[in-house]
């Protein structure tokens, strides 16, 4: 049977790896270097195999028939890959594997020379990704077919000599030289403008990074005018650098818009007005707020939290001792705002393992459907982004609440053991002095900011 053959081949592969491992024991410098080279050669052969299998699976709609829009998302769930690693494989499958036409004719790969060096193990998967990126640029699209093919052959020949970064730099220069005339002047069809802004949260520390590009001069001038007006030095003794003043100006303008902007300026997201949410422990609140957790920015400093709390409304949502929101809703098909906030406090965005979409991009899903007598309460609700909400309605994945938190059971084709998966738990506990029996923590959310205490009584922390 095919499974038996796969298992036998896998056993031989493991045996070969163990033989290499045995060689390393007591090996000299030359042997250790040889093992490193052998490992890279084996990795390239395995990458070549997986890319070929992926291309075959895509031709047979293996993943789309199971509810996935893209192979990238399926590979992330199946193999535990980061999205960029999954995209690297799908890019290679699209470019170095031949295709079959509707009439059965075998078509060559889009990058035939690159396919040849990849097949022979002379280059890596990352090199293939670079070649595809360079030859997918606008400048490359303007090249004549014969020139484009020659450039591809040149890039493939250099792939075994250059690192991926060197190959990208060299290849970009090559394409630019071949595209000597550049884009043709065309008043009716000008070069498309690029206006983009990227917000990326830091993975291992609070905060994030915002980068942008605005080719539209009027759009850029609008933004620059506001930031320039708000970032002028406050006095002759100003010590902040211009970049710091501009960053603080942008945050100040956005904070004002959240607190005072009309709905035409700040529209609702996910059925409610955008808010800054802060999660804090009750004992932290009583101890003058040592710590808090923001939806996007992560952990806050005491100074930042106290500034936020100075102008805060109070909305109590009680959490139990493990940081799990208690039921705050009522039995209705629609999700009351308070109950939605409790789900946000528990799930912190899409609860599907591996997904990092924030609450504003998500919907609240009834685990047991309303039409099947499912109740609208905290232990029957889970927050999902649109992609995973659609996926959970497709046969395969199931979701349930276990120990007060959502967990997902993958289909058997992803994990034959169907081992439940969860997002890493949000850490709202921090080291510090403790009472013998800590009281229940609390969560606050609100327009601008709301800081919660257990009973909603008393002034915000200052």
Residue at a domain's end among 235, 260, 285 = 260
Residue 345: per-residue pLDDT: 84
pLDDT (0 to 100) of residue 148:
94
Is residue 379 a part of any domain in this protein? Answer: yes
Mean pLDDT of 47-65: 92
- Between 201-205, 243-247, 270-274, 375-379, the lowest mean confidence (pLDDT) is in 270-274
Most confident of 83-97, 220-234, 305-319: 83-97
Percentage of residues in the chain with pLDDT exceeding 90? 29
Mean pLDDT of 34-63: 93
pLDDT reading at 156 higher than 80: yes
**359 vs 315, which has greater pLDDT?**
359
Domain count, the chain: 4
Same domain for 311 and 444, yes or no, is yes
What integer is the mean pLDDT of 330-350? 75
- Band (277; pLDDT cuts 50, 70, 90): low
**Distance (Å, whole) CA 173 – CA 166:** 11
For residue 64, is pLDDT > 70? yes
Q: CA-based angle 242:247:252, to the nearest 5? A: 120
Which of 234, 260, 286 is the endpoint of a domain?
Answer: 260
* Contact indicator for 279, 428 with CB cutoff of 8 Å: yes
- Both 229 and 177 in one domain: the answer is no
Domain of 351, in residue numbers: 337-409
Question: How large is the average pLDDT for residues 97-108?
Answer: 82
- Would you say residue 210 has pLDDT above 50? yes
Mean pLDDT of 14-33: 89
From CA 401, how far away is CA 383, in angstroms rounded?
Answer: 12
pLDDT at 47: 94
Across 217-227, average pLDDT: 84
Residues 402 and 343 occupy one common structural domain:
yes
Rounded to the nearest integer, the mean pLDDT of the chain is: 78
Same domain flag for 344 and 405: yes
Q: How confident is the model at residue 462 (pLDDT cuts 50, 70, 90)?
A: very low
Ranges 150-164, 188-202, 386-400: which has the least confidence = 188-202
- 310 located within any domain: yes
The per-residue pLDDT for 15 is 93
* Residue from 333, 368, 362, 330 nearest 346 by CA: 362
**For the domain that residue 386 is a member of, what is the CATH number?**
1.10.30
pLDDT, mean of residues 414-433: 71
Angle 96-102-108 from CA coordinates, rounded to 5° = 25
344/398 same-domain check: yes
Judgement on whether residues 433 and 307 belong to the same structural domain of the protein: yes
Residue where a domain terminates, one of 211, 234, 260: 260
pLDDT of residue 214: 87
* Per-residue pLDDT band at 435 (split at 50, 70, 90): very low
Task: Give the mean pLDDT of 308-334.
Answer: 51
What backbone torsions phi and psi does residue 292 show, to the nearest 5 degrees? -160, 165
Q: Sign of the CA dihedral 184, 187, 192, 196?
A: positive
Residue 219, token pair as written in the block: 């759009």
The two three-digit tokens of residue 374, written as one number: 């499912």
Highest mean pLDDT among 120-134, 325-339, 443-457: 120-134
State the pLDDT confidence band at 186, using cuts at 50, 70 and 90. low
Same domain, 311 and 442: yes
What is the rounded average pLDDT of the residues 89-112? Answer: 88
Within 8 A by CB and 6+ apart from 168, the residues are 130, 133, 134
Give the model's confidence band at 225: pLDDT under 50 very low, under 70 low, under 90 confident, else very high. Answer: confident
pLDDT of 32 higher than 70: yes
Flag the least confident range among 113-122, 229-238, 387-396, 404-413: 229-238
388 with 351, same domain?
Answer: yes
**Is the same domain home to 352 and 314?**
no
Q: Is residue 165 part of a domain?
A: yes
Residue 90 lies in a domain: no
Examine the domain organization and report whether 291 and 255 are in the same domain.
no
Task: State yes or no: pLDDT of 366 exceeds 70.
Answer: yes
d(CA 271, CA 98) in angstroms, rounded, equals: 47
Residue 150 is assigned to a structural domain of this protein: yes
Give 307 or 100, the one with higher predicted confidence. Answer: 100
- Looking at the domain assignment, is residue 446 inside a domain? yes
How many angstroms separate the CA atoms of 343 and 277, rounded?
13
**331 falls within a domain:** no
Given a cut of 70, whether residue 149 has pLDDT beyond it is yes
Residues 405 and 382 in one domain: yes
Look at the alpha carbons of 277, 280, 286, 290 in this order and tell me if their dihedral is positive or negative.
negative
| Residue 439 vs residue 138, higher pLDDT | 138
Q: Is residue 237 part of a domain?
A: yes
Q: Is residue 297 located within the same domain as residue 351?
A: no
Q: Which helix (H) or strand (E) element contains residue 37?
A: helix 29-59
Q: What tokens were used for 305? A: 């939290």
Q: Residues 85-99: pLDDT tens digits?
A: 999 999 999 999 988
Write out pLDDT tens, residues 259-268.
666 766 666 6
pLDDT band (50, 70, 90) for residue 16:
very high
């Amino acid at each position: 049977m095919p499974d038996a053959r796969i298992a036998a081949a896998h056993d031989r592969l493991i045996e070969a790896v163990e033989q290499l491992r045995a060689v390393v024991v007591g090996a000299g410098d030359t042997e250790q270097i040889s093992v490193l080279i052998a490992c890279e050669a084996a990795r390239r052969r395995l990458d070549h195999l997986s890319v070929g299998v992926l291309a075959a699976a895509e031709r047979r709609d293996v993943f789309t028939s199971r509810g996935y829009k893209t192979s990238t998302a399926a590979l992330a769930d199946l193999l535990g890959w980061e999205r960029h690693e999954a995209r690297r494989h799908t890019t290679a499958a699209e470019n170095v594997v031949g295709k079959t036409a509707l009439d059965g004719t075998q078509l060559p790969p889009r990058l035939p020379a690159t396919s040849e060096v990849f097949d022979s193990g002379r280059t890596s998967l990352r090199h293939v990704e670079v070649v595809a990126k360079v030859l997918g640029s606008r400048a490359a699209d303007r090249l004549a077919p014969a020139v484009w093919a020659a450039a591809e052959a040149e890039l493939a020949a250099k792939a075994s000599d250059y690192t991926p970064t060197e190959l990208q730099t060299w290849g970009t220069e090559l394409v630019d030289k071949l595209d000597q005339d550049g884009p043709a002047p065309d008043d009716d069809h000008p070069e498309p403008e690029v206006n983009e802004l990227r917000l990326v949260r830091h993975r291992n520390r609070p905060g994030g990074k915002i980068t942008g590009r605005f080719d539209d001069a009027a759009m850029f001038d609008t933004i620059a005018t506001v930031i320039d007006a708000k970032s002028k030095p406050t006095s002759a003794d100003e010590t902040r650098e211009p970049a710091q003043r501009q960053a603080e100006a942008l945050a100040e303008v956005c904070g004002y818009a959240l607190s005072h902007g009309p709905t035409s300026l700040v529209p609702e997201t996910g059925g409610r007005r955008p808010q800054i949410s802060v999660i804090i422990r009750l004992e932290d609140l009583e101890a003058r707020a040592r710590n808090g957790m923001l939806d996007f920015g992560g952990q806050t400093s005491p100074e930042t939290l106290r500034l936020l709390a100075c102008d805060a409304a109070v909305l109590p949502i009680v959490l139990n001792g493990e940081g799990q929101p208690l039921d705050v809703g009522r039995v209705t098909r629609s999700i009351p705002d308070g109950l939605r906030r409790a789900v946000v406090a528990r799930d912190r965005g899409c609860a599907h393992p591996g997904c990092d979409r924030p609450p504003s991009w998500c919907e609240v899903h009834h685990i047991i459907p309303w039409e099947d007598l499912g109740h609208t309460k905290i232990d029957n609700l889970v927050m999902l982004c649109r992609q995973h909400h659609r996926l959970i309605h497709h046969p395969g994945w199931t979701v349930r609440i276990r120990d007060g938190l959502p967990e997902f059971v993958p289909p058997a084709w992803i994990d034959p053991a169907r081992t439940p998966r969860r997002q890493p738990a949000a850490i709202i506990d921090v080291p510090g002095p403790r009472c013998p029996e800590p009281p229940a923590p609390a969560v606050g959310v609100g327009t601008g900011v709301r800081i919660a205490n257990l009973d909603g009584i008393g002034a915000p922390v200052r």
